[in-house]
Amino acid sequence: MSSDVVDHSGLSRRHFLQAAGAAAAVVPNGVPAQPAMRDALPLGAPSAAKTTTERVVRLRVNGADRELTIEPRVTLLDALREVLALTGTKKGCDRGQCGACTVLVDGRRINACLTLAVMHEGSEITTIEGLGTPDALHPMQAAFLSRDAFQCGYCTPGQICSAVALVGELKAQALSAATFEAAPAGAVPRTIAISDAEIRERMSGNVCRCGAYVNIVAAVRAVAEGKA
Amino acid sequence: MNDVDYRRPSSVAEAIRFGAEPGAAYVAGGTNLIDLMKGHVALPTRLVDVNRLPLAAVTMRPEGGIRIGAMVRNSDLANHPIVRERYPLLAQALVAGASPQLRNMATVGGNLLQRTRCHYFYDADIAACNKRSPGSGCAALEGRNRIHAILGASDACVATHPSDMCVALAALRADVVVQGVGGERRIAMARFHRLPGDAPERDTELAPGELITAVELPPSPFAARSHYLKVRDRASYAFALVSVAAALDMRDGSVRDAALALGGVAHKPWRVVAAEEALVGRPLDDATIAAASERALAGARPLRENAFKVELARRAIARALQTAGGAA
Protein backbone atom coordinates (compact mmCIF):
# COMPACT_ATOMS: atom_id res chain seq x y z
CA MET A 1 0.00 0.00 0.00
CA SER A 2 1.51 3.30 -1.03
CA SER A 3 2.01 5.97 1.57
CA ASP A 4 -0.71 8.26 0.30
CA VAL A 5 -3.51 5.78 -0.23
CA VAL A 6 -6.72 7.39 0.88
CA ASP A 7 -8.85 5.31 3.21
CA HIS A 8 -12.63 5.43 3.74
CA SER A 9 -12.26 8.50 5.91
CA GLY A 10 -10.67 10.63 3.20
CA LEU A 11 -7.55 11.10 5.33
CA SER A 12 -4.36 10.13 3.57
CA ARG A 13 -1.95 7.94 5.44
CA ARG A 14 0.69 10.65 5.13
CA HIS A 15 -1.56 13.26 6.71
CA PHE A 16 -2.56 10.89 9.47
CA LEU A 17 1.03 10.07 10.34
CA GLN A 18 1.93 13.75 10.35
CA ALA A 19 -0.93 14.44 12.73
CA ALA A 20 -0.03 11.48 14.92
CA GLY A 21 3.60 12.56 15.03
CA ALA A 22 2.63 16.06 16.12
CA ALA A 23 0.47 14.63 18.88
CA ALA A 24 3.18 12.30 20.12
CA ALA A 25 5.67 15.15 20.35
CA VAL A 26 3.80 16.89 23.16
CA VAL A 27 3.27 13.83 25.32
CA PRO A 28 5.65 13.38 28.26
CA ASN A 29 7.46 10.14 29.08
CA GLY A 30 7.50 9.07 25.45
CA VAL A 31 4.11 7.43 25.85
CA PRO A 32 2.27 7.80 22.56
CA ALA A 33 -0.95 9.76 22.88
CA GLN A 34 -2.80 7.42 20.56
CA PRO A 35 -2.55 3.72 20.06
CA ALA A 36 -1.25 2.72 16.66
CA MET A 37 -4.05 2.90 14.14
CA ARG A 38 -3.87 1.98 10.50
CA ASP A 39 -5.83 2.56 7.39
CA ALA A 40 -8.93 0.45 7.10
CA LEU A 41 -8.19 -2.77 5.30
CA PRO A 42 -10.57 -5.06 3.44
CA LEU A 43 -11.73 -7.95 5.58
CA GLY A 44 -9.12 -10.67 5.78
CA ALA A 45 -6.48 -8.81 3.80
CA PRO A 46 -2.99 -9.86 4.82
CA SER A 47 -0.75 -7.14 6.22
CA ALA A 48 2.84 -7.55 7.31
CA ALA A 49 2.45 -4.46 9.49
CA LYS A 50 -0.31 -5.89 11.65
CA THR A 51 0.37 -6.10 15.36
CA THR A 52 -0.65 -9.29 17.09
CA THR A 53 -3.87 -7.76 18.38
CA GLU A 54 -5.08 -5.73 15.40
CA ARG A 55 -8.36 -6.90 14.00
CA VAL A 56 -11.05 -5.86 11.59
CA VAL A 57 -13.87 -4.12 13.40
CA ARG A 58 -17.15 -3.40 11.63
CA LEU A 59 -19.07 -0.39 12.86
CA ARG A 60 -22.29 1.15 11.61
CA VAL A 61 -21.88 4.90 11.93
CA ASN A 62 -24.49 7.46 10.86
CA GLY A 63 -26.20 4.83 8.74
CA ALA A 64 -23.08 3.65 6.91
CA ASP A 65 -21.18 0.40 7.39
CA ARG A 66 -17.49 1.03 8.09
CA GLU A 67 -14.57 -1.35 8.43
CA LEU A 68 -11.61 -0.43 10.58
CA THR A 69 -8.43 -2.34 11.31
CA ILE A 70 -7.56 -1.37 14.84
CA GLU A 71 -6.24 -2.70 18.11
CA PRO A 72 -8.86 -3.67 20.69
CA ARG A 73 -7.66 -0.92 23.02
CA VAL A 74 -8.79 1.82 20.60
CA THR A 75 -11.66 3.70 22.19
CA LEU A 76 -14.82 4.44 20.25
CA LEU A 77 -13.87 8.11 20.48
CA ASP A 78 -10.44 7.59 18.90
CA ALA A 79 -11.91 5.31 16.23
CA LEU A 80 -14.47 7.96 15.26
CA ARG A 81 -12.03 10.86 15.24
CA GLU A 82 -8.71 9.40 14.17
CA VAL A 83 -9.74 6.52 11.91
CA LEU A 84 -13.07 7.62 10.47
CA ALA A 85 -12.21 11.36 10.59
CA LEU A 86 -15.55 12.18 12.20
CA THR A 87 -14.03 15.00 14.22
CA GLY A 88 -17.35 16.51 15.26
CA THR A 89 -17.20 14.32 18.35
CA LYS A 90 -14.75 16.07 20.66
CA LYS A 91 -12.09 14.82 23.04
CA GLY A 92 -12.22 16.88 26.22
CA CYS A 93 -11.05 15.11 29.36
CA ASP A 94 -10.88 11.62 27.77
CA ARG A 95 -11.86 10.23 31.22
CA GLY A 96 -15.65 10.36 31.26
CA GLN A 97 -15.91 13.59 33.20
CA CYS A 98 -16.78 16.29 30.65
CA GLY A 99 -19.24 14.78 28.14
CA ALA A 100 -17.62 16.36 25.05
CA CYS A 101 -17.42 12.88 23.48
CA THR A 102 -21.11 12.06 23.93
CA VAL A 103 -22.52 10.01 21.06
CA LEU A 104 -25.66 7.93 20.61
CA VAL A 105 -25.35 4.15 20.51
CA ASP A 106 -28.63 2.45 19.60
CA GLY A 107 -30.27 5.74 20.55
CA ARG A 108 -28.70 5.93 24.02
CA ARG A 109 -26.18 8.59 25.00
CA ILE A 110 -22.80 7.34 26.18
CA ASN A 111 -19.26 8.66 26.66
CA ALA A 112 -17.29 7.44 23.64
CA CYS A 113 -14.01 7.88 25.55
CA LEU A 114 -14.72 5.13 28.12
CA THR A 115 -15.68 2.37 25.77
CA LEU A 116 -13.80 0.41 23.13
CA ALA A 117 -14.78 0.52 19.47
CA VAL A 118 -14.59 -3.27 19.23
CA MET A 119 -17.33 -3.56 21.87
CA HIS A 120 -19.82 -1.86 19.52
CA GLU A 121 -19.87 -4.11 16.49
CA GLY A 122 -23.47 -4.44 15.34
CA SER A 123 -24.61 -1.26 17.11
CA GLU A 124 -26.05 1.82 15.42
CA ILE A 125 -23.74 4.72 16.26
CA THR A 126 -24.89 8.30 15.69
CA THR A 127 -22.52 11.25 15.97
CA ILE A 128 -23.22 14.95 15.58
CA GLU A 129 -22.51 14.52 11.85
CA GLY A 130 -25.41 12.06 11.65
CA LEU A 131 -27.99 14.25 13.36
CA GLY A 132 -28.35 16.95 10.75
CA THR A 133 -26.64 18.87 7.98
CA PRO A 134 -26.11 22.63 7.54
CA ASP A 135 -29.07 22.62 5.14
CA ALA A 136 -31.27 20.37 7.24
CA LEU A 137 -30.48 20.94 10.91
CA HIS A 138 -31.77 18.64 13.62
CA PRO A 139 -34.29 20.59 15.74
CA MET A 140 -31.85 20.52 18.65
CA GLN A 141 -29.07 21.98 16.47
CA ALA A 142 -31.46 24.71 15.32
CA ALA A 143 -32.49 25.44 18.92
CA PHE A 144 -28.85 25.78 20.02
CA LEU A 145 -28.34 28.29 17.20
CA SER A 146 -31.49 30.32 17.84
CA ARG A 147 -30.93 30.41 21.65
CA ASP A 148 -27.20 31.22 21.33
CA ALA A 149 -26.47 28.15 23.47
CA PHE A 150 -22.70 28.15 23.08
CA GLN A 151 -19.67 30.36 23.04
CA CYS A 152 -16.49 28.57 21.91
CA GLY A 153 -18.49 25.59 20.63
CA TYR A 154 -16.12 22.82 21.71
CA CYS A 155 -18.57 21.12 24.06
CA THR A 156 -21.52 21.75 21.73
CA PRO A 157 -21.59 18.48 19.72
CA GLY A 158 -21.60 16.53 22.98
CA GLN A 159 -24.22 18.85 24.49
CA ILE A 160 -26.47 18.41 21.45
CA CYS A 161 -26.13 14.61 21.29
CA SER A 162 -26.79 14.47 25.04
CA ALA A 163 -29.80 16.78 24.73
CA VAL A 164 -31.32 14.76 21.88
CA ALA A 165 -31.23 11.65 24.07
CA LEU A 166 -32.54 13.67 27.03
CA VAL A 167 -35.70 14.59 25.14
CA GLY A 168 -36.34 10.91 24.41
CA GLU A 169 -35.72 9.99 28.05
CA LEU A 170 -38.20 12.63 29.22
CA LYS A 171 -40.79 11.34 26.76
CA ALA A 172 -40.22 7.84 28.17
CA GLN A 173 -40.73 9.28 31.70
CA ALA A 174 -37.26 8.14 32.82
CA LEU A 175 -36.41 9.10 36.40
CA SER A 176 -33.75 11.58 37.47
CA ALA A 177 -32.51 12.78 40.85
CA ALA A 178 -34.52 15.96 40.26
CA THR A 179 -37.70 13.89 39.83
CA PHE A 180 -37.30 12.55 43.37
CA GLU A 181 -36.58 16.02 44.72
CA ALA A 182 -39.78 17.34 43.17
CA ALA A 183 -41.90 14.53 44.65
CA PRO A 184 -43.47 14.69 48.14
CA ALA A 185 -41.15 13.54 50.95
CA GLY A 186 -40.41 9.83 50.81
CA ALA A 187 -42.87 9.25 47.96
CA VAL A 188 -42.31 7.46 44.66
CA PRO A 189 -42.44 9.94 41.77
CA ARG A 190 -45.27 9.17 39.36
CA THR A 191 -45.07 11.73 36.61
CA ILE A 192 -42.25 13.92 35.42
CA ALA A 193 -42.86 17.58 34.63
CA ILE A 194 -40.41 19.34 32.33
CA SER A 195 -38.57 21.98 34.36
CA ASP A 196 -35.25 23.80 34.34
CA ALA A 197 -34.23 21.72 37.38
CA GLU A 198 -34.93 18.48 35.48
CA ILE A 199 -32.96 19.66 32.44
CA ARG A 200 -30.01 20.86 34.51
CA GLU A 201 -29.79 17.56 36.38
CA ARG A 202 -30.14 15.55 33.18
CA MET A 203 -27.43 17.61 31.43
CA SER A 204 -24.99 17.30 34.36
CA GLY A 205 -22.77 14.94 32.40
CA ASN A 206 -21.89 17.74 29.95
CA VAL A 207 -19.56 20.48 31.09
CA CYS A 208 -19.43 23.89 29.37
CA ARG A 209 -16.37 25.85 30.44
CA CYS A 210 -17.69 28.99 28.74
CA GLY A 211 -20.68 28.74 31.06
CA ALA A 212 -23.40 28.87 28.40
CA TYR A 213 -25.68 26.88 30.69
CA VAL A 214 -28.58 29.34 30.84
CA ASN A 215 -29.02 29.30 27.08
CA ILE A 216 -28.34 25.56 26.83
CA VAL A 217 -31.20 24.93 29.26
CA ALA A 218 -33.42 27.27 27.23
CA ALA A 219 -32.59 25.46 23.97
CA VAL A 220 -33.15 22.00 25.42
CA ARG A 221 -36.38 23.07 27.10
CA ALA A 222 -37.71 24.56 23.87
CA VAL A 223 -37.22 21.26 22.04
CA ALA A 224 -38.52 19.18 24.96
CA GLU A 225 -41.70 21.30 25.05
CA GLY A 226 -42.07 21.17 21.28
CA LYS A 227 -41.55 24.93 20.95
CA ALA A 228 -38.34 24.89 18.94
CA MET B 1 -3.38 2.34 27.81
CA ASN B 2 -1.53 -0.94 27.36
CA ASP B 3 -2.40 -3.18 24.46
CA VAL B 4 -4.73 -6.05 25.24
CA ASP B 5 -6.04 -9.25 23.81
CA TYR B 6 -9.82 -9.15 23.35
CA ARG B 7 -12.30 -11.99 23.72
CA ARG B 8 -16.04 -11.94 23.29
CA PRO B 9 -17.44 -15.12 24.86
CA SER B 10 -20.89 -16.31 23.82
CA SER B 11 -21.77 -18.07 27.06
CA VAL B 12 -21.15 -17.68 30.78
CA ALA B 13 -19.16 -20.93 30.76
CA GLU B 14 -16.90 -19.63 27.99
CA ALA B 15 -16.49 -16.28 29.77
CA ILE B 16 -15.35 -18.01 32.95
CA ARG B 17 -12.89 -20.09 30.98
CA PHE B 18 -11.36 -16.93 29.44
CA GLY B 19 -11.57 -15.08 32.75
CA ALA B 20 -9.57 -17.74 34.57
CA GLU B 21 -6.44 -17.04 32.52
CA PRO B 22 -3.68 -14.87 34.02
CA GLY B 23 -3.98 -11.14 33.27
CA ALA B 24 -7.64 -11.41 32.25
CA ALA B 25 -10.26 -8.87 33.30
CA TYR B 26 -13.96 -8.87 32.55
CA VAL B 27 -15.18 -5.69 30.86
CA ALA B 28 -18.83 -4.67 30.91
CA GLY B 29 -19.69 -0.95 30.74
CA GLY B 30 -15.97 -0.16 30.98
CA THR B 31 -16.61 3.12 32.76
CA ASN B 32 -14.26 2.31 35.63
CA LEU B 33 -11.90 -0.27 34.12
CA ILE B 34 -11.02 1.70 30.97
CA ASP B 35 -10.55 4.83 33.06
CA LEU B 36 -8.14 2.92 35.33
CA MET B 37 -6.33 1.48 32.31
CA LYS B 38 -5.82 4.97 30.90
CA GLY B 39 -4.24 5.99 34.20
CA HIS B 40 -1.99 2.89 34.22
CA VAL B 41 -3.65 1.80 37.47
CA ALA B 42 -5.25 -1.31 35.98
CA LEU B 43 -3.03 -3.27 33.57
CA PRO B 44 -4.96 -6.28 32.28
CA THR B 45 -3.46 -8.10 29.31
CA ARG B 46 -6.77 -9.63 28.19
CA LEU B 47 -10.27 -8.16 28.20
CA VAL B 48 -13.18 -10.55 28.31
CA ASP B 49 -16.19 -8.64 26.97
CA VAL B 50 -19.27 -9.87 28.85
CA ASN B 51 -21.66 -7.34 27.30
CA ARG B 52 -23.42 -9.88 25.08
CA LEU B 53 -23.97 -12.56 27.70
CA PRO B 54 -27.66 -13.28 28.37
CA LEU B 55 -27.64 -11.60 31.80
CA ALA B 56 -29.65 -8.44 31.12
CA ALA B 57 -33.08 -9.32 32.51
CA VAL B 58 -34.94 -8.35 35.69
CA THR B 59 -37.23 -11.20 36.74
CA MET B 60 -39.61 -11.92 39.58
CA ARG B 61 -38.71 -14.73 41.95
CA PRO B 62 -41.29 -17.17 43.31
CA GLU B 63 -41.09 -15.85 46.89
CA GLY B 64 -41.73 -12.26 45.74
CA GLY B 65 -38.21 -10.92 45.41
CA ILE B 66 -36.41 -10.10 42.18
CA ARG B 67 -33.37 -11.32 40.30
CA ILE B 68 -31.39 -8.63 38.49
CA GLY B 69 -29.06 -9.85 35.76
CA ALA B 70 -25.49 -8.60 36.13
CA MET B 71 -25.57 -6.93 32.72
CA VAL B 72 -28.62 -4.75 33.39
CA ARG B 73 -27.54 -1.14 32.82
CA ASN B 74 -27.87 1.25 35.75
CA SER B 75 -30.34 3.47 33.86
CA ASP B 76 -32.49 0.51 32.83
CA LEU B 77 -32.57 -0.80 36.40
CA ALA B 78 -33.62 2.58 37.82
CA ASN B 79 -36.48 2.73 35.33
CA HIS B 80 -37.61 -0.86 35.45
CA PRO B 81 -41.31 -0.90 36.45
CA ILE B 82 -40.78 -3.47 39.22
CA VAL B 83 -37.87 -1.52 40.71
CA ARG B 84 -39.75 1.79 40.57
CA GLU B 85 -42.78 0.21 42.21
CA ARG B 86 -41.22 -2.09 44.83
CA TYR B 87 -37.68 -0.83 45.38
CA PRO B 88 -37.81 2.97 44.91
CA LEU B 89 -34.82 3.29 47.27
CA LEU B 90 -32.70 1.46 44.68
CA ALA B 91 -34.06 3.60 41.84
CA GLN B 92 -33.30 6.81 43.76
CA ALA B 93 -29.77 5.69 44.65
CA LEU B 94 -29.08 4.73 41.02
CA VAL B 95 -30.07 8.11 39.60
CA ALA B 96 -28.00 9.85 42.29
CA GLY B 97 -24.87 8.27 40.82
CA ALA B 98 -22.59 9.38 37.98
CA SER B 99 -24.10 11.04 34.88
CA PRO B 100 -26.84 9.93 32.45
CA GLN B 101 -24.20 8.86 29.92
CA LEU B 102 -22.33 6.74 32.46
CA ARG B 103 -25.54 5.22 33.83
CA ASN B 104 -26.41 4.12 30.27
CA MET B 105 -23.09 2.25 30.11
CA ALA B 106 -22.53 1.02 33.68
CA THR B 107 -23.91 -2.39 34.63
CA VAL B 108 -25.02 -3.84 37.95
CA GLY B 109 -22.05 -6.20 38.04
CA GLY B 110 -19.61 -3.47 37.10
CA ASN B 111 -21.03 -1.06 39.66
CA LEU B 112 -20.42 -3.68 42.37
CA LEU B 113 -16.85 -4.10 41.14
CA GLN B 114 -15.86 -0.46 40.68
CA ARG B 115 -12.76 0.07 42.73
CA THR B 116 -12.83 1.43 46.24
CA ARG B 117 -10.65 4.46 45.74
CA CYS B 118 -9.06 7.77 46.60
CA HIS B 119 -7.06 10.41 44.69
CA TYR B 120 -3.79 8.74 45.58
CA PHE B 121 -4.94 5.34 44.28
CA TYR B 122 -5.83 7.00 40.98
CA ASP B 123 -2.48 8.77 40.57
CA ALA B 124 0.10 6.21 39.44
CA ASP B 125 2.83 8.86 39.90
CA ILE B 126 2.32 8.65 43.68
CA ALA B 127 4.38 5.77 44.97
CA ALA B 128 2.65 5.15 48.29
CA CYS B 129 -0.64 3.34 47.81
CA ASN B 130 -1.16 -0.07 49.39
CA LYS B 131 -4.22 -0.65 47.25
CA ARG B 132 -2.30 -0.09 43.99
CA SER B 133 1.07 -1.42 45.15
CA PRO B 134 0.73 -3.64 48.24
CA GLY B 135 3.29 -2.76 50.90
CA SER B 136 4.10 0.69 49.48
CA GLY B 137 2.36 2.67 52.25
CA CYS B 138 -0.60 5.04 52.30
CA ALA B 139 -0.13 8.62 51.14
CA ALA B 140 -3.63 9.60 52.26
CA LEU B 141 -3.17 8.71 55.92
CA GLU B 142 -1.12 11.86 56.58
CA GLY B 143 -1.95 13.59 53.28
CA ARG B 144 -5.07 15.23 51.89
CA ASN B 145 -7.85 13.12 53.34
CA ARG B 146 -11.01 15.20 53.36
CA ILE B 147 -12.99 12.70 51.29
CA HIS B 148 -11.74 9.58 53.05
CA ALA B 149 -13.14 6.99 55.44
CA ILE B 150 -14.21 7.62 59.02
CA LEU B 151 -15.30 4.04 59.72
CA GLY B 152 -13.70 0.63 59.35
CA ALA B 153 -10.42 1.91 57.91
CA SER B 154 -6.95 0.64 58.72
CA ASP B 155 -3.47 2.13 58.72
CA ALA B 156 -3.01 0.45 55.34
CA CYS B 157 -5.92 2.18 53.58
CA VAL B 158 -8.51 4.89 54.23
CA ALA B 159 -10.24 4.88 50.83
CA THR B 160 -14.02 4.86 50.39
CA HIS B 161 -16.33 2.89 48.13
CA PRO B 162 -17.93 5.38 45.73
CA SER B 163 -21.12 3.55 44.68
CA ASP B 164 -24.61 4.80 45.44
CA MET B 165 -26.30 1.68 44.08
CA CYS B 166 -24.37 -0.54 46.49
CA VAL B 167 -25.52 1.47 49.53
CA ALA B 168 -29.14 0.81 48.56
CA LEU B 169 -28.38 -2.86 47.85
CA ALA B 170 -26.82 -3.19 51.31
CA ALA B 171 -29.87 -1.60 52.95
CA LEU B 172 -32.20 -3.84 50.93
CA ARG B 173 -30.29 -6.97 52.03
CA ALA B 174 -29.25 -8.12 48.56
CA ASP B 175 -27.33 -11.25 47.67
CA VAL B 176 -24.70 -11.30 44.93
CA VAL B 177 -24.72 -14.43 42.76
CA VAL B 178 -21.33 -15.33 41.30
CA GLN B 179 -20.05 -18.11 39.11
CA GLY B 180 -16.55 -19.49 38.78
CA VAL B 181 -14.82 -22.63 37.59
CA GLY B 182 -15.97 -24.29 40.85
CA GLY B 183 -19.65 -23.48 40.22
CA GLU B 184 -22.16 -20.94 41.52
CA ARG B 185 -22.26 -19.36 44.98
CA ARG B 186 -24.14 -16.55 46.70
CA ILE B 187 -22.51 -13.84 48.77
CA ALA B 188 -24.57 -11.62 51.08
CA MET B 189 -24.11 -7.93 50.23
CA ALA B 190 -22.84 -7.32 53.79
CA ARG B 191 -19.90 -9.64 53.10
CA PHE B 192 -19.34 -8.93 49.40
CA HIS B 193 -17.12 -5.87 49.87
CA ARG B 194 -14.19 -6.07 52.28
CA LEU B 195 -12.74 -3.75 54.86
CA PRO B 196 -9.14 -2.88 53.99
CA GLY B 197 -7.39 -4.56 56.96
CA ASP B 198 -3.88 -5.37 55.83
CA ALA B 199 -4.93 -6.34 52.29
CA PRO B 200 -6.55 -3.24 50.76
CA GLU B 201 -5.66 -4.44 47.27
CA ARG B 202 -8.69 -6.71 47.58
CA ASP B 203 -11.97 -4.78 47.45
CA THR B 204 -14.30 -7.78 47.41
CA GLU B 205 -14.59 -11.44 48.34
CA LEU B 206 -14.69 -12.48 44.67
CA ALA B 207 -12.14 -15.14 43.85
CA PRO B 208 -9.93 -14.56 40.79
CA GLY B 209 -11.87 -15.39 37.62
CA GLU B 210 -15.27 -15.42 39.28
CA LEU B 211 -18.03 -13.62 37.35
CA ILE B 212 -21.02 -11.86 38.88
CA THR B 213 -24.12 -13.21 37.14
CA ALA B 214 -26.94 -11.63 39.16
CA VAL B 215 -28.06 -9.69 42.22
CA GLU B 216 -31.09 -10.95 44.12
CA LEU B 217 -33.33 -8.89 46.36
CA PRO B 218 -35.74 -10.35 48.91
CA PRO B 219 -39.30 -9.01 49.02
CA SER B 220 -39.18 -5.50 50.50
CA PRO B 221 -41.57 -4.06 53.10
CA PHE B 222 -40.11 -0.60 52.38
CA ALA B 223 -41.73 0.34 49.05
CA ALA B 224 -43.91 3.06 50.60
CA ARG B 225 -41.27 4.76 52.78
CA SER B 226 -37.69 5.19 51.70
CA HIS B 227 -35.20 7.91 50.90
CA TYR B 228 -31.68 8.10 49.50
CA LEU B 229 -29.92 11.28 50.61
CA LYS B 230 -26.61 12.13 48.96
CA VAL B 231 -24.50 15.00 50.26
CA ARG B 232 -21.73 16.11 47.92
CA ASP B 233 -19.62 19.11 46.93
CA ARG B 234 -21.61 19.74 43.73
CA ALA B 235 -25.35 19.60 43.11
CA SER B 236 -24.86 16.72 40.69
CA TYR B 237 -22.30 14.37 39.19
CA ALA B 238 -19.95 14.04 42.18
CA PHE B 239 -19.21 11.27 44.63
CA ALA B 240 -20.86 11.39 48.03
CA LEU B 241 -19.12 12.95 50.99
CA VAL B 242 -21.81 11.14 52.93
CA SER B 243 -24.89 9.33 51.67
CA VAL B 244 -27.69 7.60 53.52
CA ALA B 245 -30.09 4.91 52.34
CA ALA B 246 -33.01 4.86 54.77
CA ALA B 247 -36.19 2.83 54.56
CA LEU B 248 -38.98 2.23 57.04
CA ASP B 249 -41.95 -0.04 57.51
CA MET B 250 -44.30 1.83 59.87
CA ARG B 251 -47.34 0.44 61.67
CA ASP B 252 -49.54 2.37 64.07
CA GLY B 253 -47.00 5.14 64.55
CA SER B 254 -44.04 2.93 65.32
CA VAL B 255 -41.26 1.40 63.27
CA ARG B 256 -41.93 -2.24 62.39
CA ASP B 257 -38.79 -2.75 60.30
CA ALA B 258 -35.97 -0.44 59.23
CA ALA B 259 -33.08 -0.40 56.79
CA LEU B 260 -30.15 1.98 57.16
CA ALA B 261 -26.85 2.10 55.28
CA LEU B 262 -24.24 4.80 54.68
CA GLY B 263 -22.04 5.60 51.69
CA GLY B 264 -18.90 7.72 51.43
CA VAL B 265 -17.74 6.84 54.93
CA ALA B 266 -15.98 3.50 54.61
CA HIS B 267 -14.18 1.01 52.37
CA LYS B 268 -17.57 -0.63 51.77
CA PRO B 269 -21.25 0.28 52.03
CA TRP B 270 -21.74 0.76 55.77
CA ARG B 271 -24.76 -1.05 57.14
CA VAL B 272 -25.01 -1.43 60.91
CA VAL B 273 -27.69 -3.93 61.96
CA ALA B 274 -27.60 -2.59 65.54
CA ALA B 275 -28.62 0.85 64.22
CA GLU B 276 -31.60 -0.65 62.43
CA GLU B 277 -32.55 -2.52 65.61
CA ALA B 278 -32.46 0.76 67.54
CA LEU B 279 -35.34 1.96 65.35
CA VAL B 280 -37.56 -1.10 65.49
CA GLY B 281 -40.52 -1.06 67.87
CA ARG B 282 -40.20 2.67 68.57
CA PRO B 283 -41.86 5.84 67.34
CA LEU B 284 -39.75 7.73 64.80
CA ASP B 285 -38.91 10.62 67.14
CA ASP B 286 -35.72 12.56 67.77
CA ALA B 287 -34.55 10.26 70.57
CA THR B 288 -35.00 7.13 68.43
CA ILE B 289 -33.18 8.73 65.50
CA ALA B 290 -30.33 9.88 67.76
CA ALA B 291 -29.95 6.38 69.16
CA ALA B 292 -29.81 4.90 65.67
CA SER B 293 -27.20 7.33 64.40
CA GLU B 294 -25.14 6.83 67.56
CA ARG B 295 -24.94 3.14 66.72
CA ALA B 296 -24.37 3.69 63.00
CA LEU B 297 -21.37 5.90 63.72
CA ALA B 298 -19.98 3.95 66.69
CA GLY B 299 -16.21 3.67 66.45
CA ALA B 300 -15.86 6.54 63.98
CA ARG B 301 -12.22 7.57 63.72
CA PRO B 302 -11.87 10.66 61.55
CA LEU B 303 -8.64 11.76 59.91
CA ARG B 304 -7.06 15.21 59.98
CA GLU B 305 -9.35 16.74 57.31
CA ASN B 306 -12.59 14.78 57.55
CA ALA B 307 -13.87 15.14 61.11
CA PHE B 308 -16.79 17.07 59.60
CA LYS B 309 -18.08 13.81 58.14
CA VAL B 310 -19.11 12.51 61.57
CA GLU B 311 -21.51 15.36 62.25
CA LEU B 312 -22.55 15.46 58.59
CA ALA B 313 -23.42 11.76 58.73
CA ARG B 314 -25.39 12.24 61.96
CA ARG B 315 -27.48 15.01 60.40
CA ALA B 316 -27.86 13.17 57.09
CA ILE B 317 -29.16 10.08 58.90
CA ALA B 318 -31.74 12.22 60.70
CA ARG B 319 -32.83 13.93 57.49
CA ALA B 320 -33.05 10.68 55.54
CA LEU B 321 -35.06 8.89 58.23
CA GLN B 322 -37.42 11.84 58.69
CA THR B 323 -37.91 12.11 54.92
CA ALA B 324 -38.50 8.38 54.57
CA GLY B 325 -41.01 8.59 57.43
CA GLY B 326 -42.79 11.44 55.66
CA ALA B 327 -41.97 14.02 58.33
CA ALA B 328 -39.44 16.21 56.53
Identify the architecture of domain B5-48 in CATH: 2-Layer Sandwich (3.30)
Please give the pLDDT value at position A189: 82
Cross-chain CB nearest to B3 (options A53, A185, A205): A53
Contact B42/A at CB under 8 A = no
Q: B3 vs A71: CB contact, 8 Å cut-off?
A: yes
Q: For residues B156 and B317, is the Cβ–Cβ distance under 8 A? A: no
Domains A35-130 and A139-224 share a fold: no
Total Cβ atoms within 10 A of residue A106:
12
* pLDDT (average), residues A83-91: 98
Q: A201 vs B101: CB contact, 8 Å cut-off?
A: no
Arithmetic mean of pLDDT over chain A: 84
Residue pLDDT, tens place only, B224-246: 999 999 999 999 999 999 999 99
- How far the first Cα of chain A sits from its last, in Å, is 49
pLDDT band with cut points at 50, 70 and 90 for residue B190: very high
Is A35-130 a domain of CATH 3.40.50.720?
Answer: no
Domain boundaries, chain A: 35-130, 139-224
Q: Which residues of B touch A116 (CB under 8 A)?
A: 6, 27, 30, 34, 47
Residue pLDDT, tens place only, A27-81: 333 333 444 444 443 444 444 445 679 999 999 999 999 999 999 999 999 999 9
Please give the pLDDT value at position A228: 82
The percentage of residues in chain B with a pLDDT greater than 90, rounded to a whole number, is 99
Contact B79/A at CB under 8 A = yes
Q: B95 vs A177: CB contact, 8 Å cut-off?
A: yes
- pLDDT at position B220 over 70: yes
Separation of alpha carbons A86 and A79, rounded Å: 9
Cross-chain CB nearest to B237 (options A169, A188, A205): A205
Which numeric CATH code is attached to A139-224? 1.10.150.120
Q: B227 vs A51: CB contact, 8 Å cut-off?
A: no
Residue in chain A closest to B39 (alpha carbons) equals: A95
Write the ipTM: 0.97
Q: A53 vs B236: CB contact, 8 Å cut-off?
A: no
Q: Where in chain B is the domain with CATH 3.30.43?
A: 5-48
Q: Which residues of A touch B (CB under 8 A)?
A: 35, 51, 53, 55, 71-73, 75, 94-96, 99, 102, 108-111, 114-116, 118-119, 162, 165-166, 169, 172, 174-177, 179-180, 184-188, 200-202, 204-205
Q: B101 vs A95: CB contact, 8 Å cut-off?
A: no
Q: B92 vs A116: CB contact, 8 Å cut-off?
A: no
The percentage of residues in chain B with a pLDDT greater than 70, rounded to a whole number, is 99
Residue pLDDT, tens place only, A5-23: 344 444 444 444 444 444 4
- pLDDT at position B43 over 80: yes
* Highest CATH level, class, for B226-324: alpha beta
> Which B residues 174-213 touch A at CB under 8 Å?
none
Cross-chain CB nearest to B4 (options A73, A162, A177): A73
Name the pTM for this structure: 0.91
Contact B5/A at CB under 8 A = yes
